[in-house]
Amino acid sequence: MANLSFQLLRSATGSEARRGRLTTPHGNIETPVFMPVGTQATVKAVTPHQLAELGASIVLSNAYHLYLRPGTAIVKDLGGLHGFMSWPRPILTDSGGFQVFSLGHLRKVTEEGVVFRSHHDGSEHFFTPETVMRVEEDLGADIIMAFDECAPYPCDQEYARQAMERTHRWSARCLAAKRRDDQWLFGIVQGGIYPELRRESASFLASLDFPGYAVGGLSLGEPKATTYAILAETLRWLPTDKPRYLMGVGSPEDLIECVERGVDMFDAVLPTRIARNGALFTRTGRRNIRNASFRRMDAPVDPTCDCYTCTTFSAAYLHHLFKTEELLGYTLASVHNLRFLVKLMEEIRAALDSDTFPALRDDFLARYVPTNEEVRVAQKAKWEQAQRAKGEGR
């Protein structure tokens, strides 16, 4: 394929962690990597210039949303996503499967595809594996995703099996329909939280010889221990010489844990979503900038951070911006959270290069206090319910 390759540069001692490099027509991507999410051709509250400055090497956009607005014909005519959003570096597009299946009563699944109604105006649309390939090819991202059916959590094993088997059939159709040789098409492993289904799905998709593989249907509300266990079981059955992408995961502790299990690529709306609510990452856990303790703090929220926000503004200033609901606060908080994750991935790659990843992992996890599991699940469920109501999603 034109200007597309993956090199596995190093495997860690004592874990499944990997160091690699993806080559695309729009530049190299050093892995493991975190991809900021620009669902509608924009990372919320952050400019492309700011993304480049904070070190982002690739961003993710969503085919479902861009198909509805502004329409793929407009994006194609204006230079594809790279030209449309003025982002010269690599882009990945999600197929929209997660969003379509989040529509609930607004969609109907058949073997041919999914009939759904726009959450904007109620107009009816039909997605098939073939039409999704046309949409993603018109958008022009470097990496595109197959159309899949994402089973919800919780669901019984039979439901998960049916969704998985339909995903397999649709994956084969996506491969057959793909035309451009300057895009990589990744298959998506499904199977819910059932290890035997995950093994079956990973093995089947590996037999189709995709250039890369995503793990979908996790981080949907299940306990993190379950996420990690199912992920590890899934990755065991995927080729070691091809990139592995865990969809929708982006909390700092998860990046560490999932890199250790062999993941190369991550994405999540988490850093920008919580930033707009005043939550900022630090080396010891999240901090709520609205708290009174920051009102007079003449120092950055995270003194170890090298982002524009932390090297320029005090925590007291950020506190003021959020208390007065000034829009700049959302940008500065988003820049910080994205840089925090991008920098963490830089540190992980450096540790893999020097074969010191276990020490980095142990040191980070010893200091970082994750959000309480019950609170995390409740917050995510509330957010996803709100997103479903307006047809959005991660």
Helices 357-367 and 327-353 meet at what angle, rounded to 10? 140
Backbone angles phi, psi at 131, to 5 degrees: -70, -35
Q: How far apart are CA 44 and CA 56, in angstroms?
A: 14
Peptide bond into 70 cis (omega under 30): yes
Instruction: Give the domains, in start order, of the chain with CATH numbers.
Output: 5-267 (3.20.20.105), 275-374 (no CATH)
* pLDDT value, residue 102: 83
Task: Match 């540069």 to its residue by tokens.
Answer: 9
Q: Pinpoint the alpha helices (H) of the chain.
A: 48-53, 63-68, 72-77, 80-84, 97-101, 129-139, 157-177, 195-207, 224-235, 252-260, 270-276, 308-312, 315-323, 327-353, 357-367, 373-389
Residues whose CB falls within 8 Å of the CB of residue 32, separated by 6 or more in sequence, listed in order: 17, 18, 19, 20, 255, 259, 263, 264, 265, 266, 345, 348, 349, 352
* pLDDT value, residue 375: 67
DSSP 8-state assignment for residue 357? H
With contact defined as beta carbons under 8 Å apart, do 286 and 274 qualify?
yes
Helices 129-139 and 157-177 meet at what angle, rounded to 10? 60
Determine which one of 94, 142, 264, 302 is catalytic. Answer: 94
Residues whose CB falls within 8 Å of the CB of residue 76, separated by 6 or more in sequence, listed in order: 138, 139, 140
Q: How far apart are CA 334 and CA 394, in angstroms?
A: 16
94 is annotated as an active-site residue: yes
Determine which one of 138, 148, 264, 267 is catalytic. Answer: 267
Q: What are the pLDDT tens digits along the chain (394 aa)?
A: 678 999 999 999 989 999 999 999 999 999 999 999 999 999 999 999 999 999 999 999 999 999 999 999 999 999 999 999 999 999 999 998 888 878 888 899 999 999 999 989 999 999 999 999 999 999 999 999 999 999 999 999 999 999 999 999 999 999 999 999 999 999 999 999 999 999 999 999 999 999 999 999 999 999 999 999 999 999 999 999 999 999 999 999 999 999 999 999 999 999 999 999 999 999 999 999 999 999 999 999 999 999 999 999 999 999 999 999 999 999 999 999 999 999 999 999 999 999 999 999 999 999 999 987 776 666 666 656 665 565 555 4
Rg of the chain on CA atoms, in Å? 20
Backbone angles phi, psi at 215, to 5 degrees: -105, 110
Structure tokens at 195: 């290890």
267 is annotated as an active-site residue: yes
- Please report the sign of the dihedral spanned by the C-alpha atoms of residue 306, residue 309, residue 313, residue 318: negative
Say how many C-beta atoms besides its own lie within 10 A of residue 186's C-beta: 26
Q: Which of 5, 14, 68 is nearest to 41 (CA)?
A: 68
* pLDDT value, residue 106: 86
